[in-house]
Amino acid sequence: MVVYKAPYDEYEFLFHEVFDVLDLAKRLGHEDLDRDFIRMVMEGWGNYCTEVLLPLNEVGDREGLVFESGEVTMPSGFVDAWKEGVEAGWFATTCRPEHGGMALPQFVRNGVDEIAISANMSLSVVPALGLGVYELVTNHGVQELIDHYGEYLANGHWCGTMCLTEPHAGTDLGIIRTKAVPQDDGSYRVTGTKIFITAGEHDLSENIVHMVLAKTPGAPEGTKGISLFIVPKLLPKDWKSGSVEGLSRELSDARNGVTCSGIEEKMGLHASPTCVLNFDDSVGWLVGELNSGMSLMFEMMNRERLATGMMGLGLGEIAYQNALAWARERRQGRDLKGIRDPSQAADNILVHPDVRRMLLTAKVNNEGCRALGVWVGTLLDQLHSDEDETRERAEALIALLTPVVKAHFTDLGCETTSTCMQVMGGAGYCSEYGVEQFYRDVRISKIWEGTNGIQALDLAGRKITQDLGRNLRYLMWPLAEFIEENRDIPEMAEFNKPLHKGVRGLQQLTLLMISQGMGNPHFLAAGATDYCRYFGNIMLAYMWARMARVCLEHPDSDFHQAKLASARVFFSRIYPETISLGANIQAGHKDLMNYPEAMM
């Protein structure tokens, strides 16, 4: 049986001791937000996830989906669980009050995202997509669209999707063929096929609102000619033509020219429908300006990339908890230094250094990622600051850290779930213990929302050079300031010195990537993935050093001393990977590109 305990205490530590989120919240207008309220929200959401969603996770994996006559039926219990979340208002917590939400800060959303993913990743992606569509509509849609779709998208009565990929166009969206023809009444008729559409068809909600990339007649070539359209599965029952202004939310029985022609059979996420959607003269409305579709969709995509990163953490965390629970009960062999428990036929496997190596690597990477996730959440909130400098800094750091969070968290999530299976031996490979499902489910996270190779190229090829290196400067300043502030604290030396060395290495490798990459883009591309991982390790090192600095002030607290022990594991066992990563980057591209293609 799968076990899971939501990490409330971990978030309390990060929110209130490491990042002081209440001070930030008050500066952003959340004067009534306090520690008790945040904890209450986290625990209420956690109870819903662990009591309602978690028991359905194995059910969904075992039963899968039913696809028949263009319709998808979700596994047993999923529809009722969704309705319970809608009725409780859980999906609207970060949305605007006028749409039934509480406008909670984004740092809270990152925390609840992790818990939902741990409990049931297949279902957790649905509200995440709905929130993405909600934000696009409310930020860029005309008032008629906001009035009609805002509240129902916020509370989960209606769900949402993002429709980008086509059978012939994956990452290269400039060659999409979906067309949107303007009508005299101000609407558009959308025609085309989209593939790999998560939750494109299901019976959780009565309507699904699609965000579709398409080109209008005569649009510029490539991505500059792409526009964004909102295309609902079902139109209002009283809609005849024109906009949806003033229309009821009672829906027509007939589909709006949107049909699902199939769902994918996948390695994991068996309860998450991945659909082929056909748009046949479907009614839609323009969102934002004409030909601005790519920039708008990237707003949603970049937020989803951060959410995808949290998937690596969420499944890594529940895999760790189950591997640890199993290890505490498992007895095999004896401590190599002598019998630990003579009353038993064997010692507990936690006496074995290699078991501890695996479990502590999982634990420490999870906790480092969680800290970085909270920091990025606070940066997302700072985008709404009244201070221009604060917004500019937050924007630069989010741009820089988005590919790192997406790639590094999901890489580690895949490694962690695999490692946790290894801890459990043959039991880890058996479905009854659950961890092998987490391994299968998390694997898509390295592919979703732009593969991790694409994220690495985005980081190395665009984000570090953007605006003459502005993004990187905004990161280097707080890193340098932190290192200098802790230089003369003896207890911080074991954390501060390796961080300083790693930051200097990052600066040198960045200059190398830029200088060599300008002359030969193959050099930059060959080192991009290793550079992204190096960057991720530096960010976790910064998080662990910040956490260590706080914990040194609490010598009598078991919680804080355990955190210090985790920081030491990170710097002694995980962080040295940066040395080999640096060597890989410096090795360049020649051995890769000169290898005879015919011999591959």
Residues whose CB falls within 8 Å of the CB of residue 529, separated by 6 or more in sequence, listed in order: 407, 452, 453, 456
> Distance of CA 65 to CAs 60, 147, 163, 255, 271, Å?
8, 33, 21, 21, 6
Backbone torsions φ then ψ of 193, nearest 5 degrees:
-125, 135
CA gyration radius for the chain? 25
Is 499 in contact with 506 (CB distance < 8 Å)? no
Q: What angle do CA 104, 109, 110 make, to 5 degrees?
A: 145
- Two structure tokens written together for 177: 């063929």
| Amino acid, res. 467 | D
Active site residues: 449
- 243 φψ region: left (φ > 0), alpha (ψ -120 to 50), beta (else): beta
Tally helices (H) and strands (E) across the chain. Answer: 19, 11
Calculate the CA dihedral of residues 136, 140, 145, 148 and round it to 10 degrees: 50
How many Å separate Cα 37 from the centre of its chain? 25
Distance (Å, whole) CA 321 – CA 298: 34
Which residue matches tokens 């501890």?
356
